[in-house]
Structure 1
Amino acid sequence: MKIARGFLKPCFAVAAVVAVLAAVAGWITVGSAGAWAAPAGVALAALGFAGSVWAVASVEKIDLRLTLPMALITYAVKLMLVFAALWAVQSTVPDALPPFACGIIGGAVAWLTTQAVWAYKAKIPYIELSRDH
Structure 2
Amino acid sequence: MTKIKGFLKPCLIAAAIAAVIAGVVGGITDGVTGAWAAPAGVALAALGFAGSAAAVALAETFDLRLTLPMALITYSIKLALVLTILSIVKTAVPDALLPFAYGVVGGAVAWLATQVVWAYKAKIPYIELDQSS
Range of TM-score over shorter length: over 0.9
Tell me the residue number matched to 1:103.
Answer: 103
In the aligned structure 2, how far is the partner of 1:132 from the partner of 1:56? 25
Tell me the residue number matched to 2:126.
Answer: 126
Deviation at 1:63, TM superposition (A): 1.0
In the aligned structure 2, how far is the partner of 1:57 from the partner of 1:8? 12
In the aligned structure 1, how far is the partner of 2:4 from the partner of 2:111? 15
In the aligned structure 2, how far is the partner of 1:117 from the partner of 1:29? 30
The structure 1 segments of at least 4 consecutive aligned residues displaced by more than 3 Å after TM superposition are none
In the aligned structure 2, how far is the partner of 1:93 from the partner of 1:4? 35
SS in structure 1 of the partner of residue 129 of structure 2: coil
Aligned residue pairs, count: 133
Structure 2: any 5+ residue segments left out of the alignment? none
Q: RMSD across aligned C-alpha pairs, in angstroms?
A: 1.1
Tell me the residue number matched to 2:15.
Answer: 15
TM-score (norm 2): 0.96
Tell me the residue number matched to 2:52.
Answer: 52
One-letter amino acid of the structure 2 residue matched with residue 60 of structure 1: E
Deviation at 1:132, TM superposition (A): 2.1
Counting aligned pairs with the same residue, the percent is 68
TM-score (norm 1): 0.96
Tell me the residue number matched to 2:92.
Answer: 92
In the aligned structure 2, how far is the partner of 1:74 from the partner of 1:36? 26
Whether 1:61 and 2:89 are equivalent positions in the alignment is no
